[in-house]
Amino acid sequence: MSAIALVGAQWGDEGKGKTIDILASKADMVVRAMGGSNAGHTVVTDGVTYKLHLIPSGILYPGTVCVIGNGTVISPAVILKEIRGLKDHGVSMDDLRIDARAHVILPYHVAMDELSEKSLGKGDIGTTKNGIGPCYMDKAERTGIRMCDLVKPEVFREKLARNIAVKNKILGALYGAEPMNADKIFDEYSEYAKLLAPYVCDTSVLVYDAIKAGKKVLFEGAQGALLDLDVGTYPFVTSSHPTSGGFCVGTGIGPTLIDDVIGVCKSYTTRVGKGPFPTELLDEMGEHIRRTGFEYGTTTGRPRRCGWLDTVILRFAVRVNGLTALAVNKLDTLTGIDKIKVCVAYTKNGERIENFPTDISDLEGCEPVYVEVDGWKENIESVRSYDDLPAAAKAYIGLIERETGVPVKMIGVGPDREQNINK
């Protein structure tokens, strides 16, 4: 490991937290670059489950510097709750750093997120309603409040007053909502600022210096490639760039400083919320995968939609991220299924489609082209060597490698950090 970026290769929820946690054991620094508390990473170690939203998974390793980059959006209340929860488990926060340029989620962002989704009715996007999108909108409009503003009381007061005046007009005119009180928000967030100020700095310098010094740096992705604002299944996407390019703009370092990009996927496909899903299973098999894989959102608790593995999506992720390897999680979830299907292409109007469509409307009428392979009945949760996997499981991994063109380097066979195979 030198500088490695780890990204989601599907619609998020691929088990990145576990994979990052494993790689973080050898890292000097773990860097988060995009998204906000809408992301959720679950790490299980020694029987203890940690649900992380903003803080990088490397925080569980003493001495590992954990960076939240400029491309993230920060909810002060959420991150302070995370900090308190981790401290209660004896986890030190001494090595946590937050970039001064990261934008702050404020109450009007949350209100506008909730009200906007409600106004769309059945046409809603399915956001987590945590204010992520409206915060990124302010960032794009150049009216956002950053961490460097939050920790300077006078600057924060001035910018907050200006923004509140505008937001109250919007909330009232569009949604009939009650106006927000700038003084109340200032008082509340000033207390947050005092607690967060020790962590705030220019993290791009820290990351650059670490790489140049030969330190092992791990870039921690959030969500997944299919949720990227530009290349994902628009409009059912997130408000940031969870592809590998997002690490550069989200941390302030150049692309030539990243050596490898690992894509994380499940042995099947899931997504939360609305949007197209060609291999979705709306039958007992889909419910079986949901129950067996415990497919419920880390952040929302919503049941995830489940379906067979889609290699059209994985090839898309390989292309847009420049993936050099894959990490396949939850292979154990497929244990006991007699025949497993894998989507290798789509068909529409008699035409075979091997590349994921750019317009989701083009997915209408697309039918998955499946290959069917033998399953396995052996319990693989205690397997730690690739050679010890059942032949059918190894054949399944081989199929993924052939269809994507990149090697599978890690295989998850259970939720604990020890339940992993290095190939």
Domains of the chain, earliest start first: 3-99+200-261 (3.40.440.10), 103-196 (1.10.300.10), 265-422 (3.90.170.10)
Quick one: pLDDT band at residue 124, thresholds 50, 70, 90?
Answer: low
Whether pLDDT at 41 is above 80:
no
More confident residue, 20 or 228: 228
**Paired tokens of 423:** 């190939």
Q: Which helix (H) or strand (E) holds 67?
A: strand 65-68
Phi, psi of 171 (to 5 degrees): -60, -40
Type of residue numbered 140: A
Q: Which of 100, 79, 65 is nearest to 36 (CA)?
A: 79
Strand ranges (E), 100-174: 103-104
CA-to-CA distance for 70 and 98, rounded, in angstroms?
8
Instruction: Select the more confidently predicted residue: 128 or 399.
Output: 399
Start-to-end CA span in the chain (Å): 16
The whole-number average pLDDT for the span 309-329 is: 98
Q: Where are the beta strands (DSSP E) in 146-216?
A: 200-201
Global pTM value: 0.90
Task: Judge contact between 63 and 95, C-beta under 8 A.
Answer: yes
> What is the overall mean pLDDT for the chain?
92
Q: Is residue 82 packed enough to be buried (19+ CB in 10 Å), middle (13-18) or exposed (0-12)?
A: buried
Q: Nearest 5 degrees, angle CA 220-CA 223-CA 228?
A: 110
Indicate the range of 12-26, 153-167, 179-193, 361-375 predicted with least confidence.
12-26
Q: Is the pLDDT of residue 330 over 90?
A: yes
Exactly one of 21, 41, 53, 113 is catalytic; name it. 41
What mean pLDDT is predicted for residues 315-338? Answer: 97
Q: Which of 13, 113, 149, 332 is catalytic?
A: 13
DSSP state at residue 146: B
Q: How large a percentage of the chain has pLDDT more than 70?
A: 95
- According to the model, what pLDDT value does residue 10 have? 97
Q: Per-residue confidence at 145, pLDDT binned at 50, 70, 90?
A: very high
pLDDT band per the 50, 70, 90 thresholds, residue 307:
very high
Query: Is 109 one of the annotated active-site residues of the chain?
Result: no
Cα angle, residue 396 at apex, residues 391 and 399 outer, rounded to 5°: 125
Q: Out of 20-24, 73-77, 123-127, 128-132, which region has the weakest mean confidence (pLDDT)?
A: 123-127
- Mind giving me the DSSP string for 307-336? E-EEHHHHHHHHHHHT-SEEEEE-GGGGTT
CB 162 within 8 A of CB 185: no
Distance of alpha carbon 40 from alpha carbon 12, whole angstroms: 9
pLDDT of res. 121: 61
Q: Is 385 exposed, middle or buried (0-12, 13-18, 19+ CB in 10 A)?
A: exposed
Confidence at residue 129, expressed as pLDDT on a 0 to 100 scale: 73
At 52 the pLDDT is 82
pLDDT over 80 (residue 75): yes
What is d(CA 57, CA 23) in angstroms, rounded to the nearest whole number? 10
Type of residue at 289: I
Q: Does the annotation count 13 as an active-site position?
A: yes
**Other C-beta atoms within 10 Å of 158: how many?**
12
